[in-house]
Structures are given as C-alpha cells and as structure tokens.
Amino acid sequence: MSDAYDVIVIGGGPGGYVGAIRAAQLGLKTAIVEKRGTLGGTCLNVGCIPSKALLQSSHHYEMAGHEFADHGVHVSGLKLDLKTMLGRKEMVVNDLTKGVEFLMKKNKIDYHVGNAEITAPGEVVVKPLKKGGKKQTLKTVNIIIATGSDVTRLPGVAIDEKQIVSSTGALSLPKVPKTMVVIGAGVIGLELGSVWRRLGAAVTVIEFLDVALPGMDAEVSKNMQRILKKQGMSFKMKTKVTGAKTARAGVTLSMEPHDGLAKGAKPEIMKADVVLVAIGRKPYTEGLGLKKASVSIDERGFILVDDDFQTNVEGIYAIGDVIGGMMLAHKAEDEGIVCAEIIAGESGHIDYNSVPGIVYTHPEVAAAGKTEEQLKDAGIEYNSGKFPFTANSRARCNASTDGFVKILSDKATDTVLGCHIIGPQAGDLIQEVVNVMEFGGSAEDIARICHGHPGLPEAVKEAALATAGRAIHM
C-alpha cells in the first residue's frame, strides 16, 4: 500500500479541487480525478464564471446603449460584436481553469484525467477519455465524491444545445435570437435571460409557480420580477410547458396552466427562436459505481451523508452539489475544506443558515438567513428594517437606485436572523451581514459600526437602524 493515496477526490469542481488543496495542505497524499479535460467543474467551465463574464459584458452594452447618455456620455455607432464577447468569456474561463491546474501542481496533487469509477472501498479505476488509452487502478484510504450536478430535463422538450438549450448552450449562442423563451424563473433563467435580453432578444420567462425566484423572501421575489419586467422581460406564470417541436423556423412550444387544462380547452402555443430549459439541476453520479460500492442515495439521487460528509460506506465521503442542499460553488468549497479537515482528524463546521445566495442580475439579489415567511411559519417574533437605495447617496451618484436592504432581527434579542437585498452590488453588500450573523451579532452591532461615506454599505447600516425605527436618512 506504499503508493496508495490518503485521499482521492473524484470531480475537479469547486468542491473537489478546493477539498484536494486543503487535504494536501494538511499533509495528506492526494489525487484528483476529472473527466471533463479541464479543472474547475461546472462553475468555472459552464456555470458561475462564463455566466458572470457575459453578464458583465452585456451590462456594459446595455449601459452604453441606454444609460451613458444620462451621464452626458454620447456614443455613436454602438455595435455588438458577439464573437469578441464570447471570445473574452472563453479567455476568462481558460485562464481560471489553467490557474486551478497550476494550483494542483503547486500543492503536489496528482491530477488524473479520466472517468473515475469506485470499484471497491479504497479503489478507484480511472478510465481514459480517449479510445485505446490505458485504464489505471488507484488505491486510497479515503475517497471524496465531488461529482456535482447536471441539468434537469423536461419531458417532451429535448435539449439539442442549438435551438433548445440548457445553460451550457445558452452561454455560447452564435447569434442573438430575436425571440427567446426561458422555462423556469429561477437563478439561471433570470441571469441568462437578462444576458440575451440586454443583447437584443425579446425574452419571455415561463414559470410553473406564481413567483419568480421561489424560496426567496416574497417581497424580494415580487419586487425583482417587477424590476425585470420594467427592463423588458416578459413573464408567464403558473404555466407548464408540455412539449416542444423544432423546425428550421424555430421552436413551437405547447403550454397549459400549471394545474392542467380545463375540460375542452386546447394547449396554448408559443414560438421562439431559442428555448432555454432552466428548471433546476440534479445530482450527477453516472458511471461512478455507487451501486457496486453500496453507497446509499436518496429518492432524488443525492448521495446521503452524515454531519461529517461520510456516506454509509466507511472511507467514502461526498460533498457539493451531489449531496444536495444549496447548489452553490461557495457551499461546495466550504464542504470540501471541512471534509478534508475531518479526514485529517481535525474538526470542521458549516453554518448553512448564513450561506449567502446571490442572483447576478442588475440590480443583484442577495439573501442570507431566514425569510419573513420562514420566521412567521416558525412563530418567531422579529423586527424588520428596510432601507431603499433611492435614499442612499452613492446609489444616486451611480444612477442605480432600484431596490432595498431588508434586515430581520429577533424581537427579543435583536440578533440578526436574515437579510434580503435587491440593489447594486447586493452580492458584496450581503457579506457584512453574513459576518455579523456568523458571530451571532445584532442589528445594533451593524448600526454602531462606522460605514464609509458615500457608500452602498451605508444602506445596510440604515436598514439595521430601521429595525429599531431610527433610520437617519429616511
């Protein structure tokens, strides 16, 4: 067993590669197996990073076309060069995935390219990507499964990544569609729908439920939908898509109310150049050998783990999207770190209540902790403090005044229980509140901290003051 590893990580996404680095830092002999051909997983290759690159580029285009003039900056001959925009996105992805490969080398982590199958506890077979390549059998004490997630398919709507696309196809459309239907008003639908709307597509979002961004604080969902409508995105709520036909002229969708067709009623028809299916993601465990290794999964396919990320099989751990919970890169990363620390005999812990969720639309949406609905359901009495960006001087300077900060604090103890933001750089602003929540701090703590002026974080301070009815600038 001298050449055996201490840890083999399967999957090179944010959960896997970060876990591998932490394991190596702790002195464990570590290998990582990835079948994509590049490291970084869904997030760096076809998720967080390319989508944010396009969100940034398309935001510049929209600003130049519609907002610069308000600042006295006139642009003539504005033209979209989609090829360059997509090329820049690819460059960002390539740089970052190469960077992760460098980090593997720096930390002396063996990087095996291929499809990993667990053939027994302590044994991983790596099948080469290319025909004729050699299989490799690796021995190890521990295995961390970090194989992530894949797109959820919609029956009757076959994804071809050309006319009917998943998020992956929507990151590389060769031309701007005139019309685009997005199925699902979740995070992907609103982010990538925003990209193509900004670039000129008429975007209609079809959602099964009666709210966009379900699960978020209801006031946030409602207001965000209103803001996106104002920007030109159309919504068709309480509707389900039941089928799609593709032809050269485009895609024809059939739809019906979410609770079914009334007797004698006919399905509604909608046509679009491109349809984006964004109805969620599911755990990815294909070809991993879970059955052979007797690793238990739940009814939706997520790998079952205990508080230490240990599966039912000793020495086999799992982290990230494949175990469910919030399907977020930073959640996967933190799980990777804690899992490696536990394997190394240390202890680790994640407070899932304060993991922030961010939607990178413009304005951004950010949330941490409990929503008002959750507090009401749990019978917890709370104070709510809200401050609009229209009253924040920096937001006014920046001409970015849509949205608000809402802080929810315990009525008896003033402990911060939740924060919900729509606004400029909401994803950065939430971090201050997350830190306070992690330290068990109060709204008064935020209110007593001196915030730089003029700054967007002053809106957070004012919302904290507002929980006690003493906001200054409102």
181 phi/psi in degrees, rounded to 5: -105, 130
Build a one-symbol-per-residue string for 284-303: x at contacts with ligand FAD by CB under 6 A, - elsewhere.
Answer: x--xx---------------
Instruction: Work out the number of other CB atoms within 10 angstroms of the CB of residue 413.
Output: 10
Q: Which does 165 bind (CB under 5 to 8 A by kind): ligand FAD, ligand NAI, none?
A: none
Out of 272, 295, 332, 375, point to the residue binding ligand FAD (CB under 6 A).
332
C-alpha 366/C-alpha 430 separation (Å) is 6
Question: Does 35 sit near ligand FAD (CB under 6 A)?
Answer: yes
Collapse the DSSP code of 188 into the 3-class scheme (helix H, G, I; strand E, B; otherwise coil) and give the result: helix
Residue 284 interacting entry, from ligand NAI, ligand FAD, none, C-beta within 5 to 8 Å by type: ligand FAD
Q: How far apart are CA 64 and CA 77, in angstroms?
A: 11
CA distance 210 to 207: 7
Shortest Å distance, C-beta 205 to ligand NAI: 9
Residue 189's binding partner among ligand FAD, ligand NAI, none (Cβ under 5 to 8 angstroms by kind) is: ligand NAI
Binding segment toward ligand FAD, per CB under 6 A, in 47-55, 62-70, 86-94, 134-142: 47-55
Cβ-proximal residues to 231 (8 Å cutoff; 6+ apart), any chain: 194, 197
Q: In the complex with ligand NAI, which residue's Cβ is closer, 214 or 257? A: 214
Count of residues that bind ligand FAD according to CB under 6 A = 38
Interaction residues for ligand FAD, span 358-417 (CB under 6 A): 360
Minimum CB distance to ligand FAD, residue 302 (Å): 11
How many CB atoms are closer than 10 A to CB 465?
22
Residues 123-142 that bind ligand FAD (CB under 6 A): none
Catalytic residue among 71, 74, 349, 453: 453
| C-beta closer to ligand NAI: residue 213 or 318 | 213
Least Å from the CB of residue 149 to ligand NAI: 7
Residue in the block written with tokens 């970090």: 146
Longest CA pairwise span in the chain (Å): 72
Binding-site ranges for ligand NAI (CB under 6 A): 154, 183-189, 191, 206-209, 214, 240-241, 278-281, 327-328, 358-360
115, 140, 142, 415: residue in contact with ligand FAD (rule CB under 6 A): 115
Active site residue 453: yes
CA 341 to centroid of chain Cα atoms: 25
Q: 395 phi and psi, to 5 degrees?
A: -60, -35
Please give the torsion angle defined by the CA atoms of residues 107, 109, 113 and 118, in that order, rounded to the nearest 10 degrees. -140
- The listed partner (ligand NAI, ligand FAD, none) that binds 148, CB under 5 to 8 Å by sort, is ligand FAD
Which residues does 420 contact at the CB level (< 8 Å), separation at least 6? 216, 217, 219, 220, 366, 367, 371, 405, 406, 408
CA–CA distances in Å: residue 80 to residues 76, 198, 454:
12, 11, 34
| Between 33 and 255, CB nearer to ligand NAI | 255
CA dihedral of residues 44, 45, 48, 50 (deg, nearest 10): 120
Query: Least Å distance between CB 127 and ligand FAD?
Result: 8
**Residues in contact with ligand FAD by the rule CB under 6 A:** 10-16, 33-36, 41-43, 47-48, 51-52, 115-116, 146-149, 167, 188, 284, 287-288, 320-322, 327-330, 332, 360
- Residues annotated catalytic, as ranges: 453
